[in-house]
Every structure is written in C-alpha cells, then in structure tokens.
Amino acid sequence: MPAYVLGRLLALLPVLFGLSLIVFLIMALIPGDPAQAILGSYATPENVARINRDLGLDRSLPVQYLTWLGNVVTGDLGRSYSLNRPVLDEVLERFSATLILAGAALVLASVLGLLAGIVSAVYQYGLADKLVTFAVLIGISLPSFWLGLLLILLFAVRWRLLPVSGMYAIYGGGGLVDLLWHLILPATTLAVVAAGVIARLTRSAMLEVLRQDFVRTARAKGVSERGVVFRHALKAAMVTVIPVIGIQAGFVLGGAVYIETVFQWPGIGRMLVDAIGTRDILLVQGGVLVVAASYVLFNLLADVVQRLLDPRIAA
C-alpha cells in the first residue's frame, strides 16, 4: 500500500506540470491582457507598455513560464497584481474556505445520499422509494445558483432565520458556531446535486447486493434485518459507492464556483473566476495548481479507502 500511494503521488507531478503549461498557454492566448484590465478606458499603447514592463509581461512567453516554474519549485508562487499580495497567501486562505464549504457539502451529500439510497432500496417500489426517487430527480435537475437564491429569499430575507451571505458575521462574529451558522445554506445548496447522485448509486448498489446469496444466508441464519442491511449489504455496496463519492468531491469543488458567488463565500472558485476576468495569470496558475492537486488527492484517498474495504482490488 505505501508503494502504491507513493507511486500515485509521483504521478501527480507530470499532471501538475502539464496542467500549468496548458493554463499558462490558455491565459496567454485569450485576448486582453493584465494591463488592459488595470487601465480599462485609459489603456493607451504607451500606458500598456509601461505596465507590462513593470509586471514583467514584456518578456517572451517561454521566459515568463520558465521564470514562474523556477519560482514555484522554490515555493514562490509570485505576487498577484490584482490583489497586491503574495499568491500563496491568497490561495491558501481561499482554498481553506472552499475546503470547509465543499467538505461540509460532501459530508451532507454522503449522509443524505446514503440514507436516501438505502431507504429506497429497502422499500423498493414502495411509497418511500417513490418519494425519494422523485426528490432525487428534482435535486439533480435544479440549477444550484437558482436554488441558492431561492433559499436566501426564504430563509434569510422572508423568515430571517439564517444569514444571507459571508462566512462569518461582520459584527460579534467568529468561532465555530458562527461558521456553522453561515455554512447551512451554502452547504445545503451545494450538497443537493451530489446527494442525488449518491442516492441513485447507493440504491442500485444496495438492490444488487440485497439479491445476493450471502444476504439470503444471513437472513436464514437469523441475523436481524438491521444487521443484514447495515452490516452485510451496506458494507458490500460501499465498494461501489466510495469511488463515486470521490468523483463527487471533484464536482462539489467545481460547483462551489457558483455557490461561492451567490453566497459571497470567500472561496477559491470565485477567486479563480475573478482572476481570469482581470487576467491575473499568476493567481490563476497558483489557484489551478492547488485545486488540481487536491482533486487528485481526493481521488487517491477514495481509492485507498476502497482498497481497504475490498482486498480483492489490491490483489
């Protein structure tokens, strides 16, 4: 297992290298440049040239890329001109906010999805199954930014139960309770689609397992129904479900872009969108590197858990 994990981690390096090259080229190829974004209406060729020189953007593309790469190796991701601070500081701050949001959403989606999937599998074709299937269909189909706005209107504006936006209260805020309080709406919104996908998959995995011989044997032995479902069937079904949760982690990270905008969550998704708009190439590069690395790590984690659950895969 350690060798496997190490191998996968080493494979991460070429992925990140390739990715940074592609992102760099895309940013270089799209029209408009940082100087244009800074100067707006005042972007005369003369002013643009001066800003480009100040930002080091008048050098050739390969030189710019290699300089960046050289700095990255030493842990220096450069300085964001659009936020006037080191890229690393900004990226870490924003990424931790996204991790909190995406992590909460993923936990919520897994719990809800698994429960809903188990219920609808156990009561296949019953009323509970139909209700869950319907709810899942709705959940998967709702555009999340719209759902987010609707939840804000109901829970924050109409009923004033929850805060509209932000991560902490600006006054008398801070602390875990305040954070959880601000997390409820965005995490729920973000969890809805993933919960639906996980519920669907859990349902079909459970149905398949529940029909198998070892389940009938367990029942014949007199194992309680609760034991059959949770100890025997669910454990077997999880082997199929876990990797999907890993993949959902990626979708949740991606979906966070919309949710972070609607709820003004200070996460990395919104940071990347803003950075692309202002052509802040160093910030885009740094952000993409961190997001990509974490995505690969999530999937690795899911694979490792799957191997632990099912020794056949490792063999």
Partner 1 sequence: MTVIRSALASLFLAGLLVLPALRPADAQIPADVLVVGQIAEPASMDPAVSTATNDFRILVNLYEGLVRYKPGTLEVEPALAESWTISEDGRVYEFKLRQAVTFHDGTPFDAEAVKFNFERMLDENHPAAGTGPFPLAFFFSAIEKVEVVDPQTVRFTLTEAFAPFLSNLAYPTGLIVSPSAVTEQGQDYARNPVGTGPFRFVEWVGSQQVTIERNPDYWGEPAKLQTVVFRPIADANTRAAEMLAGGIDVMVEVPPDALGQFSGGDFQVHEQAGPHLWFLILNTREGPLQDKRVRQAVNYAIDKQVIADNILQGTAVPAKGPIAPAFEWAYDDTIEGYPHDPDKAKALLAEAGAEGARLTFYVAESGSGMLDPVAIGTAIQADLAKVGLEVEIQTYEWNTYLANVNAGLGDKADMAEMAWMTNDPDTLPYLTLRTDALPENGGFNSGYYSNPELDRILDEARRESEQDKRGELYRQAQRIIVEDAPWAFIAHWQQNAVTTGTVQGFALQPSFFLLLDDVSKQ
Total residues interacting with partner 1, rule: CB under 8 A: 71
What residues form DSSP beta bridges with 268?
none
198-227 residues in contact with partner 1 (CB under 8 A) are 225-226
Distance from C-alpha of 299 to C-alpha of 243, rounded to nearest angstrom: 7
- Residue from 50, 64, 207, 310 touching partner 1 (CB under 8 A): that is 50
Q: Give me the amino acid identity at 240.
A: T
Is residue 202 within 8 A of residue 237, CB to CB? The reply is yes
44 binds partner 1 (CB under 8 A): yes
Which range touches partner 1 (CB under 8 A), out of 179-187, 201-209, 238-246, 300-308?
Answer: 179-187
Distance from C-alpha of 197 to C-alpha of 131, rounded to nearest angstrom: 15
Dihedral, CA of residue 272, residue 276, residue 280 and residue 286, to nearest 10: 40
Structure-token pair, residue 255: 């979906």
- Residue from 2, 14, 62, 172 touching partner 1 (CB under 8 A): that is 172
To partner 1, the closest distance from the beta carbon of 274 in angstroms equals 8
8 binds partner 1 (CB under 8 A): no
Phi-psi region of 211 (alpha: psi -120 to 50; beta: other; left: phi over 0): alpha
HEC assignment per residue over 218-260:
HHHHCCCHHHHHHHHHHHHHHHHHHHHHHHHHHHHHHHHHHHH
- Residue from 236, 271, 272, 292 touching partner 1 (CB under 8 A): that is 271
Q: Which is nearer to partner 1, 262 or 302 (CB)?
A: 262
Q: Which is nearer to partner 1, 13 or 161 (CB)?
A: 161
79-98 residues in contact with partner 1 (CB under 8 A) are 79, 81-85, 90, 93-94
What residues form DSSP beta bridges with 79?
86
To partner 1, the closest distance from the beta carbon of 17 in angstroms equals 28
103 to 142: interface string for partner 1, x by CB under 8 A? ------------x--xx--xx-------------------
- Residue from 54, 59, 313, 314 touching partner 1 (CB under 8 A): that is 54
